[in-house]
């Protein structure tokens, strides 16, 4: 690239990180030019920015510019034109025009407080150098902390702009007595016109905190009603022009007949337009009814798919799992799962179905059933069998790529690949990046695919992390059409080398989202991180001590060791279940419920966990939840006498003696000598007599 080309590229921001949407500059420049018709103003701007970049700022709503370029232009404009009011109005206008993007994707209506909590997502659409998070919620108020990137200086424009966004939200929801208060700021001063109670502001602080508070919110807002309730708003620009002396004495003549003729034509056209509008309204209503029906069906499909795709994968013998799952639409063609092969092996799967939406989601549901049925020693054999089944079921109307790995208790993984992107392994000790071997071919397309599947082996050591992903990740694009690609993924894997696997996955996806900011997601995206804990020796020690003390009925000591083990592997099923049992034994039912709920959220389908959970709710006199958990335990294990007995006691407490007697009879049919049931039956007989 020549030096001239490079200079032009620099002016367009290609070699500097774009930090802020050009929409703000667009607005400011237009107001600046309209404020005074002095042609020298354009010359001033051209001295600051090249014509190509200026043209793109004024025409391209998706263009982003650097912080330094925006500040350079704003500082020059402010020499002759105050910008505070413009930034405040921009914040209001931007929110009212873009709030649609942060509302729920279906027709659910949200309250003011819930939408305000989503504001960090919207602000990220405008500024990349500000990280926003809610730090305090109370009745009718929320505090936000604004953390500015170290490479920029906090500026009053941004705070006024953010205040405008909050006021825009209040306008949309018709909030009464809404106040935006600047609590703390790095700045030494700011125009108090844009914030309430500015006297309490702490200036020159290390933090920037803004609080929004309100008295009452009258409405809820959703995508189906936002256009009906959103108030009309308009940015006002005043243009002052001088009278040209040379034009004095010149007159224009108006023919009234022409005016009457034009009025008649406009009347006829207006009547025709009104008729067309009525037709369009009718068609719009029909479309809305159909859209609601489709939205409802997609919502059902999404919930079904959520049921077949695990939201989390539990820890397994020191292996920890973290997943980022981003469907492009309501339902996804990406799919991941795990499979228990007895107590000493675990299978892990990531696949990507061709296409998107409902057809792709349908094939993922079929794949779920197929892979669940195959518990073979060889992943390549599993893929071969799945391919044959898919050919029969899908008839080559779709295909999928797949990675399938099986871990043993020594952390050796046998894996096979079917046309899927090759996973990336990072070695903890050396920070070496290894791209796994294997290719294979698609599933569901070729009769001879089995011949192309091979088994490979790798072994994980403490601290190692393996990343399995779908091609939607590496094919994501920025606003210049450049793909994220494997090189960037490896870069962020190395930058997160010292993080645990969950933090590493979060860091990679945050970096990916910043890279692709301003563009639409083009494919389903899945990233599965698998890491082997560095603290297995300490974990095994605490687990052993916990089990020994639990067996010796030293439940409090056991709970202490279990909590330490849980801090190392938070999703280990054995630790979560034993914690629930321990706290139930020492009658700390609230803590027992906490860990048993966490255990059951990992879809363990364990009759004992639901039994203990039901008992804990019974002791806390939450009989409705106790009944629900005990019924689950009974459904998972037929002839579950303890669960049946506790259910009978629950019905007794709920004053349903007939139901209690029916359950007792079931118990005695199973075991006529079950003493607790016999005693409860006698008690009920006396009570009912």
The larger pLDDT score, comparing residue 229 to residue 384, is at: 384
Pairing of strands 179-184, 175-176: unpaired
Pick from 488, 531, 508: nearest CA to 322: 531
Q: CA–CA distance from 529 to each of 55, 321, 334, 335 (Å)?
A: 44, 6, 15, 14
φ, ψ of residue 501 to 5 degrees: the values are -65, -35
β-partners of residue 468 are: 528
What residues contact 561, with CB distance under 8 A and at least 6 apart? Answer: 542, 543, 545, 546, 549
Pick from 136-145, 273-282, 508-517: least confident: 273-282
β-partners of residue 217 are: 175
Average pLDDT value for the chain: 83
pLDDT attached to residue 337: 92
pLDDT attached to residue 611: 95
**For residue 247, is pLDDT > 50?**
no
pLDDT attached to residue 263: 64
pLDDT attached to residue 347: 94
**For residue 406, is pLDDT > 80?**
yes
Asked if 285 and 488 touch (Cβ cutoff 8 Å), the reply is no
DSSP code for 199 = G
Helices (H), 12-118: 22-35, 40-48, 51-59, 67-77, 84-98, 112-117
Asked if 229 and 219 touch (Cβ cutoff 8 Å), the reply is yes
291 vs 289: CA distance, rounded Å: 5
The larger pLDDT score, comparing residue 580 to residue 26, is at: 580
Percent of the chain past pLDDT 70, that is, above it, reads 85
pLDDT attached to residue 559: 95
Q: Which two tokens stand for residue 331?
A: 């339902």
pLDDT attached to residue 275: 77
pLDDT attached to residue 6: 37
Q: DSSP letters of 400-461?
A: EEEEEEEEETTSEEEEEEEBPPPPEEE-TTT--EEEPP-----BSS-TTGGGG---EEEE--
**For residue 416, is pLDDT > 60?**
yes
Tens-digit pLDDT profile for residues 43-53: 666 677 777 88
405 vs 347: CA distance, rounded Å: 6
Pick from 158-162, 232-236, 434-438: least confident: 232-236
**For residue 259, is pLDDT > 70?**
no
First and final CA of the chain: distance in angstroms?
98
Q: Which of 102-106, 139-143, 270-274, 396-400 has the highest mean pLDDT?
A: 139-143
The total number of residues shown for the chain amounts to 689
pLDDT attached to residue 224: 59
The larger pLDDT score, comparing residue 85 to residue 110, is at: 85
Asked if 459 and 511 touch (Cβ cutoff 8 Å), the reply is no
Report the pLDDT averaged over residues 605-614: 94
Q: CA–CA distance from 440 to each of 3, 380, 420 (Å)?
A: 46, 9, 8
pLDDT attached to residue 106: 60
Report the pLDDT averaged over residues 256-268: 62
Pick from 400, 350, 341: nearest CA to 525: 350
φ, ψ of residue 151 to 5 degrees: the values are -80, -5
Report the pLDDT averaged over residues 498-524: 90
The model's confidence at residue 556, banded by pLDDT at 50, 70 and 90, is very high
359 vs 304: CA distance, rounded Å: 14
pLDDT attached to residue 545: 95
pLDDT attached to residue 616: 96
Q: Which of 31-35, 166-170, 207-211, 242-246 has the highest mean pLDDT?
A: 207-211
Percent of the chain past pLDDT 90, that is, above it, reads 39
3-class secondary structure, 96: helix
181 vs 210: CA distance, rounded Å: 6
φ, ψ of residue 134 to 5 degrees: the values are -80, 125
Q: DSSP letters of 281-347?
A: HHHHHHHHHHHHHHHHHHHHHHHHHHHHS-S---BBTTEEEEEEEE-SSSS-SEEEEEEE-TTSEEE
624 vs 653: CA distance, rounded Å: 10
Q: Is 458 exposed, middle or buried (0-12, 13-18, 19+ CB in 10 A)?
A: middle
DSSP code for 685 = H
Q: Give the CA count within 13 Å in the CB-facing half-sphere of 159.
A: 29
C-beta atoms surrounding 522 within 10 Å: 14
pLDDT attached to residue 687: 79
Pick from 362, 356, 320: nearest CA to 338: 320
Pick from 161-170, 338-347, 673-682: least confident: 161-170
pLDDT attached to residue 464: 96
pLDDT attached to residue 407: 96
pLDDT attached to residue 612: 96
**For residue 537, is pLDDT > 50?**
yes
pLDDT attached to residue 346: 94
The model's confidence at residue 435, banded by pLDDT at 50, 70 and 90, is very high
Report the pLDDT averaged over residues 211-223: 79
620 vs 588: CA distance, rounded Å: 10
Report the pLDDT averaged over residues 301-311: 72
Encode 586-609 in three state secondary structure. CCCHHHHHHHHHHHHHCCCCCHHH
Pick from 602, 553, 605, 604: nearest CA to 581: 553
Pick from 83-87, 538-542, 559-563: least confident: 83-87
pTM for the structure as a whole? 0.57
pLDDT attached to residue 262: 66
pLDDT attached to residue 632: 94
pLDDT attached to residue 573: 92
Q: Which of 82-91, 218-227, 500-509 has the highest mean pLDDT?
A: 500-509
Report the pLDDT averaged over residues 593-597: 95
Report the pLDDT averaged over residues 658-669: 93
622 vs 597: CA distance, rounded Å: 15
Asked if 396 and 405 touch (Cβ cutoff 8 Å), the reply is no
pLDDT attached to residue 100: 65
**For residue 5, is pLDDT > 60?**
no
Return left, alpha or beta for 362; rule: phi > 0 is left, psi -120 to 50 is alpha, else beta. Answer: alpha
Long-range contacts of 102-105 (CB under 8 A, 24+ apart): 103/221, 103/222, 103/223, 103/226, 104/222, 104/223, 105/223, 105/330
Tens-digit pLDDT profile for residues 66-75: 888 888 888 8
The model's confidence at residue 233, banded by pLDDT at 50, 70 and 90, is very low
Considering only CA atoms, give the Rg of the chain: 32
pLDDT attached to residue 257: 54
pLDDT attached to residue 80: 75
Sign of the C-alpha dihedral computed for residues 12, 13, 14 and 19 taken in this order: negative
25 vs 32: CA distance, rounded Å: 10
């Amino acid at each position: 690239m020549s030096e001239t080309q490079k200079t032009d590229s620099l002016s367009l921001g290609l070699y500097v990180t774009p930090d802020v949407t050009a929409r703000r500059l667009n607005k400011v420049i237009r107001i600046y030019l309209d404020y005074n018709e002095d042609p020298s103003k354009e010359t001033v701007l051209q001295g600051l920015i090249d014509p190509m970049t200026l043209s793109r700022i004024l025409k391209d709503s998706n263009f982003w510019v650097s912080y330094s370029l925006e500040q350079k232009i704003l500082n020059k404009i402010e020499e002759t034109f105050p910008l505070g009011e413009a930034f405040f109005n921009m914040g209001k206008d931007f929110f009212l025009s873009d709030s649609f993007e942060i509302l729920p994707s279906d027709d659910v209506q949200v309250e003011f407080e819930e939408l305000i909590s989503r504001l960090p997502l919207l602000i990220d659409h405008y500024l990349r150098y500000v990280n926003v998070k809610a730090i305090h919620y109370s009745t009718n108020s929320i505090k936000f902390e604004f953390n500015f990137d170290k490479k920029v200086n906090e500026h009053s424009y941004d705070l006024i702009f953010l205040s405008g966004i909050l006021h825009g939200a209040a306008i949309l929801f018709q909030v009464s007595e809404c106040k935006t208060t600047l609590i703390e700021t790095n700045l030494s001063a700011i125009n108090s016109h844009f914030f309430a109670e500015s006297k309490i502001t702490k200036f020159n602080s290390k933090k920037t905190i803004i609080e929004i508070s309100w008295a009452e919110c009258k409405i809820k807002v959703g995508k189906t009603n936002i256009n009906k309730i959103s108030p009309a708003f308009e940015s006002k620009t005043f243009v002052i022009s001088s009278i040209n002396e040379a034009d004095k004495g010149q007159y224009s003549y108006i023919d009234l007949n022409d005016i009457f003729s034009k009025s008649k034509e406009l009347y006829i056209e207006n009547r025709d337009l009104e008729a067309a509008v009525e037709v369009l309204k009718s068609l719009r209503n029909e479309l809305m009814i159909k859209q609601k029906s489709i939205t409802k069906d997609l919502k059902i499909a999404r919930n079904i798919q959520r049921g077949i795709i695990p939201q989390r994968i539990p820890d397994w013998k020191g292996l920890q799992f973290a997943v980022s799952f981003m469907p492009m639409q309501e339902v996804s063609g990406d799919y991941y799962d795990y499979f228990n092969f007895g107590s000493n092996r675990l299978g892990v799967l990531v696949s990507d179905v061709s296409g998107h939406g409902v057809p792709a989601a349908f094939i993922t549901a079929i794949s779920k059933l197929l892979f669940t049925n195959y518990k073979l020693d060889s992943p390549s054999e599993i893929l071969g069998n799945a391919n044959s089944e898919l050919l029969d079921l899908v008839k080559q109307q779709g295909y999928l790529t797949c990675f399938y790995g099986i871990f043993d208790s020594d952390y050796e993984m046998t894996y096979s690949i079917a046309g899927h992107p090759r996973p990336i392994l990072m070695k903890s000790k050396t920070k070496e990046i290894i791209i796994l071997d294997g290719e294979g071919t698609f599933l569901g397309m070729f009769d001879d695919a089995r011949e192309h599947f091979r088994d490979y082996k790798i072994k994980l050591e403490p601290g190692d992390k393996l990343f399995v992903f779908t091609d939607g990740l590496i094919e994501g694009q920025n606003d210049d059409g450049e793909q994220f690609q494997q090189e960037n993924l490896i870069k962020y894997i190395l930058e997160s080398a010292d993080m645990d696997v969950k933090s590493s996955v979060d860091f990679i996806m945050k970096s990916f989202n910043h890279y692709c900011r301003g563009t639409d997601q083009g494919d389903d995206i899945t990233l599965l991180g698998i890491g082997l804990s560095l603290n297995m020796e300490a974990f095994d020690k605490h687990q052993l001590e916990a089990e020994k003390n639990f067996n010796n009925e030293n439940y409090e000591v056991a709970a202490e060791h279990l909590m330490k083990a849980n801090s190392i592997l938070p999703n280990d099923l054995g630790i979560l279940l034993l914690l629930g049992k321990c706290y139930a034994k020492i009658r700390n039912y609230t803590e027992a419920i906490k860990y048993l709920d966490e255990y059951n959220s990992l879809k363990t389908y364990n009759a004992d966990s639901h039994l203990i959970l039901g008992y804990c709710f019974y002791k806390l006199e939450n009989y409705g939840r106790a009944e629900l958990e005990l019924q689950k335990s009974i459904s998972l294990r037929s002839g579950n006498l303890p669960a049946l007995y506790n259910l009978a006691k629950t019905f007794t407490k709920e004053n349903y003696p007939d139901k209690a007697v029916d359950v007792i009879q079931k118990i005695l049919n199973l075991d006529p000598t079950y003493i607790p049931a016999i005693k409860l039956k006698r008690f009920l007989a006396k009570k009912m007599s």
